[in-house]
Amino acid sequence: MSGNLYIVSAPSGAGKTSLVAALLASDTRVRKSVSYTTRAPRPGEINGRHYHFTSMEQFEKLEAAGDLLESAVVHGNRYGTSKRWVEEQLTGDSDIVLEIDWQGAAQVRRLMPSAIAVFVLPPSFEALLQRLNSRAQDSPEVIATRLANAREEIAHVHDFDYVIINADFRTAAAELQDIVRTERLRTAQQLARHTALINRLN
C-alpha cells in the first residue's frame, strides 16, 4: 500500500467535518471514506455523499458478512466503514481519511496499526455548546446527550498520534493539512512512491 490511512475523531461539534472538508478541498490526493449509518439524514445531507444511510437490518447484514472495517454505536445510532473500499483505495496513490469516533478508531488501529490518528479538540466546553446550538440541527435533549458524551470521548485523546485544538478554523485546517504533507515525506512512503527514481540514483 502506498497511500496513508488517516483517522479524524472529535466530540460532536468540535469541527471535524468542516476540517476534513477543507482538507479534501485543498488536496486532491486525499479521499474521504463514506460511512454507513442507521441514523436519519439531516437537512441537506445526500445519500452516498455524506453517508450511506441504511436500515438497522442492512447494517447488521454488512457486519455479519465481515464487510465493515469498524463499527460503533454513537448517540444511539450505528456507524461503520467499508473494509473493501478502504483496502482498494490504499493500493493506489490516494490517501484515505476516516471521519469516525474513538471506538471506531481503536478498531481500525488494531487491524491497521499504520493508520494515523488525529483528534480534534474544542477550545472549551462553552465553545462546543455554542457550536452545537448554532447548527440548529438537534433538539436540546440531543445536544445535552452530545455534551455528556463529549467528556468520555475526550478522555481517549491520549490514544491518538496528533491533537488539533480548533480555536481558530484556518489555523486548525492548516495544521491538519501539515500532518498529511509531513506523513507523506516519511521514508517508507517515499520509497514506495519513488522506487524507480531511487533505483536510478543508486
- Determine, yes or no, domain membership for 42: no
CB 31 within 8 A of CB 3: no
- Determine, yes or no, domain membership for 169: yes
- Determine, yes or no, domain membership for 71: no
Q: What is the CATH number of the domain that holds 16?
A: 3.40.50.300
Residue 170 parent element (H or E):
helix 169-184
Full-model pTM: 0.84
- Determine, yes or no, domain membership for 80: no
Residue 157 CB-density burial (10 A; 0-12 exposed, 13-18 middle, 19+ buried): middle
Domain residue limits at 110: 5-33+94-201
One digit per residue, the tens of pLDDT, for the chain of length 202 reads 578 999 999 998 899 999 999 999 999 999 999 999 999 998 889 998 889 999 999 999 999 999 999 998 887 899 999 998 898 888 877 899 999 989 889 999 999 999 999 999 999 988 888 888 777 667 778 788 888 888 889 999 999 999 999 999 999 999 999 999 999 999 888 888 888 898 899 8
DSSP per-residue string spanning 74-135: ETTEEEEEEHHHHHHHHTTT-EEEEE--HHHHHHHHHH-TT-EEEEEE-S-HHHHHHHHHHH
